[in-house]
Structure 1
């Protein structure tokens, strides 16, 4: 009987280890709209929180550009990704089933800022004509697509009215380019601009805001459509449970620049898709 008990105990240990190995880590990525070190800093406490809520390891998978996130979701190499509205549209069209779970409350009314070097003589949108201008990434919602869309609504064709267009690759890089005079003006995410000013990482004696866009839907957390439905629900519940009154949660929300997270749906991004098609940015 003792040998039998030992055998049962050993088998239970083996099965327990096997079960633990069967719980695969959640692989998370994000569009590189800020520097890699900043993305890692913002994600670290959120990753730890998700591990606690989901009962599994959470791995952050960095990528080099926006397109790489879309490809990773489509190939099943990441499970959850922080996407801009335009990147979500691209992922949805490519995969057919990428699903936005939650967004920050702020993302339902997001805006972009147009900024100019103070020595450029630029004070209004019409002053941008004939100047050197920087967008962020070509796939950025708040750093390219929507600024380009609103320029067109104000009679400015980004393809012909600027002396030169450059893509900085990230919002903080755009602010740095304008402040240094590398370009005379640019457009970036309003939230990043506010953070740069708050943290004194941009010299407001050298760069100023000349215009803020109307609001639009932007960022969200998207899962690959083939991810287990029960796990999708757990992920959404974890984000929705973040409470600013809880000190541990407040740190996470502050780093995410969110007052709270709310549910979202694909239909919220139809306006983004329409703007992208009008701009010729979707094939």
Structure 2
């Protein structure tokens, strides 16, 4: 009887261990929803397959509805890794232990674009005085924080300079708003602007670039601080291994709009944190 109890107890422990192992065998990944959900899924699919091969584990993409949800999920261990903007990384760091692993080389010198309505005759920021203006998400680095920060450096306080300030929720939505006349100006990620132009999704007769911000650090892949250290190293190595000369890797890099990935560190985002505090967006 004693043997049976011990056997049963051992079986329970083994089952629990198996469940834990199964959970650990899935890397749960998410991303800030700075573009349409279908576009985020399309961009991630080849990268997810690549990471599964490199890490020897299942990689699951977990979509979220807004920027805050990504930060909450990462800092409460609901997901393991997330594609964050510089500002959402700073927000996550304020709430818990997170580790930034890699960023695209392009993210070391990122910029945002200011755009204006052609029909409204907007050719510069001066033309937008007293007009309507849209940022992307309130938590977006390149769609809100840094464009706002650099406007304030020019003594332009959005809430008083523009007739009204709105938030479209995403970079591509901001372009659509300006093109449709919903607002007369806006700000968005330079990379998304370039992608939309290349894809023929920007009508040059309706919207145009009227300015570009100075450079700043932006997006990165960040993991929860409690993620196994060895797995963190394997993830980093997988990203750094991506080679544009390899056809399979080239497709992944192109979808990520990256020439290559490089390592990153918390110190890179001190400027973003300072800008957020100065803009009153981080307490």
TM-score if structure 2 supplies the norm length?
Answer: 0.92
Matched, 1:258 2:258: yes
- Take 2:266 and 2:37, find their aligned partners in 1: how far apart are those partners? 28
Q: From the superposition, tell whether residues 22 and 140 of structure 1 become closer, same or farther in structure 2 (CA, over 3 Å).
A: closer
Unpaired runs of 5+ residues, structure 1, are 1-13
What is residue 8 of structure 1 aligned with on the other side?
none
Using the TM superposition, give the Cα deviation of residue 51 of structure 1 relative to its aligned residue in structure 2, in angstroms: 0.2
What is residue 183 of structure 2 aligned with on the other side?
183
Deviations 1:144-172, CA, capped at 9 Å, x for gaps: 00000010111210121110111000000
Using the TM superposition, give the Cα deviation of residue 122 of structure 1 relative to its aligned residue in structure 2, in angstroms: 1.7
Counterparts of 1:1-283 in structure 2 under 5 Å? 18=18, 21=22, 23-95=24-96, 97-283=97-283
| Stretch deviating more after TM superposition (119-128 or 174-183) | 119-128
Tell me the C-alpha RMSD between the 2 structures: 1.6
SS at match of 2:159: coil
Using the TM superposition, give the Cα deviation of residue 182 of structure 1 relative to its aligned residue in structure 2, in angstroms: 0.6
- Take 1:235 and 1:38, find their aligned partners in 2: how far apart are those partners? 23
- Take 1:146 and 1:190, find their aligned partners in 2: how far apart are those partners? 12
Using the TM superposition, give the Cα deviation of residue 121 of structure 1 relative to its aligned residue in structure 2, in angstroms: 2.0
Using the TM superposition, give the Cα deviation of residue 23 of structure 1 relative to its aligned residue in structure 2, in angstroms: 4.3
Deviations 1:177-204, CA, capped at 9 Å, x for gaps: 0011110000000000000000011211
Deviations 1:229-252, CA, capped at 9 Å, x for gaps: 000000000000000000000000
Paired positions, count: 269
SS at match of 1:160: helix
- Take 1:98 and 1:122, find their aligned partners in 2: how far apart are those partners? 42
- Take 1:36 and 1:124, find their aligned partners in 2: how far apart are those partners? 32
- Take 1:256 and 1:123, find their aligned partners in 2: how far apart are those partners? 31
CA contact (8 A) 1:129 1:156 kept: no
Q: From the superposition, tell whether residues 22 and 116 of structure 1 become closer, same or farther in structure 2 (CA, over 3 Å).
A: closer
Unpaired runs of 5+ residues, structure 2, are 1-13
Q: Which runs of 4+ in 1 moved over 2 A?
A: 17-24
SS at match of 1:133: strand
